Structure 1
Amino acid sequence: MTGMTPEEVGERLIHLLETDDPAQGAVAAGVSGGGPGHARAVVDVPVARWWHAATIAHDPGALGCDFFDWLSAVDEGDDGFDVIAHLWSTRRRHGVLLRARVPRVDAEVESLVDIYPGAAWHERETYEMFGIVFARHPDLRPLLLPPEFEGHPLRKEFILAARVAKPWPGAKEPGESEAGTAKRAPMRPPGVPDPNEWGPMKGKIPPPEAPARPARPARKTDGGTP
């Protein structure tokens, strides 16, 4: 059996979800980028319908997505987090990106482990990195980080302190040279605090020196002499 197009997958899942409990929130479908052969149906569901949508996607009589590919999240700032799962049908060769917006405060969504056992590792990682709780997960314990680690590194407010707490071992900053010439203040990526405002060097770093300008040559007079 051949797979459906991304548009057909999205329409099919929306139709099947209309028959359960529409009072729990609306469902919308779109198509991801990637071009022919790579585009996927993207179906947005409310948190309350996340588990049921995955159940329908798995059902052989519906979409038949029997293979769990991956799950992760995206920090959308004050709007919360988008939890995304990619599900695939090994028989029909089509897939769907199932997505739900989880609130930032008390972020929680149902675990998919009882439908897709392969989701266990991904949900544990997402819990560690974003602080999103997966209700009914059988073993939501640390996966990658040590037990004493505090915070969730993939949240946008998490401070990336490595370049402040210790010297950066990589390449020179723009404008810096082995000769020790003056350099401009480096650009900080998002999440990296100003070392003069946070960390062990707080208040101790002098402002960057302005680069010296070469002297201008003397102007010549009309007679050809300086």
Structure 2
Amino acid sequence: MRAAIEGRYGDRAAVSESFGETTVDVAPGDWLDVLTYARDELGCAFFDWLTGVDDPPGGYSVVAHVYDPAEHAHLLVRTRVTREDPRLPSAVGVYRGADWHERETFEMFGVVFEGHPHLVPLLLPDGFEGNPLRKDFILAARVAKPWPGAKEPGESGQGSPSRRKTLPPGVPTDWGPAASAPPPTRGPRAVRREAGEDGDA
């Protein structure tokens, strides 16, 4: 697989291998061409997943994993888009399974997949602002509601706060399944044995 990719793309692709898996890095302009070549010429008919990686300071990596079931060969295809204008052609025309993966990557990282048939949010509630898997995304929960323990996890010299310190306000410390469980009971044979009535004793 590596030789075939290098023979076709030359220095337009950086090919590496790790743990039996081939990875090819290409420019955004070759993204669809490499995926089409992998499907039609390399036998990678199975689309597994596609996602993004926030890789500061330059931008975002978009990674797709495809698979050749006949040869049991894995291929990772990667490209990078800029932080200022994260755009990439949609791969839905090559692999229909990329549809929801691109929607999730658009929602979580803000990468726009041009030509996608229905590029709308997939997981987050209506009106959600921002892209939560970007490293510059502010966790608003820490601003709106302070950590219920004495300190943030790992800030004290004794490790993370205990579970007891993180109970929601108003929950008693002895609350829970273990506290409400009745004490273990002794069976009738144990009772007879203690009374000296069990003939086996």
TM-score in terms of structure 1 length: 0.64
Q: Is the contact made by 1:71 and 1:123 (CA closer than 8 Å) also made in structure 2? A: yes
Runs of 4+ in 1 over 6 A off after TM superposition: none
| Aligned-residue CA RMSD (Å) | 2.5
Which structure has more helix as a fraction of its residues?
A: 2
Determine the structure 1 residue equivalent to 2:48.
Answer: 69
Q: 2:14 and 2:61 mapped to 1: Cα distance?
A: 14
CA contact (8 A) 1:11 1:29 kept: no
Mapped pair 1:148 → 2:148: no
Measured after TM superposition, the shift of residue 152 of structure 1 is: 0.5
What is residue 36 of structure 2 aligned with on the other side? 55
Unaligned runs of 5+ in 2: 161-201
Partner of residue 109, structure 1: 88
Q: Who is 1:166 aligned against?
A: 145
Which residue of 67, 86, 105 corresponds with 1:126? 105
Provide closer, same or farther for how the CA distance between residues 128 and 171 of structure 1 changes in structure 2, counting only shifts above 3 A. Answer: farther
* TM-score, scaled to structure 2: 0.72
Q: Is the 8 A contact 1:16 1:56 kept in 2?
A: no
- Unmatched runs of 5 consecutive residues or more in structure 1: 1-8, 177-182, 188-226
Match of 1:30 among 5, 11, 16: 16
Q: How big is the shift at 1:76?
A: 1.1
Larger Rg: 2
> 1:77 offset after TM fit, Å?
1.1
The alpha carbon displacement at 1:174 in A equals 5.7
Distance between the aligned counterparts of 2:132 and 2:29, measured in 1? Answer: 26
- Structure number having the greater strand percentage: 2
Alpha-carbon distance in structure 2 between the residues aligned to 1:126 and 1:28: 23
| Structure-1 separation of matches of 2:154 and 2:86 | 43
Structure 1 CA distance for aligned equivalents of residues 99 and 154 of structure 2: 47
Of all paired residues, the percent bearing the same amino acid is 50
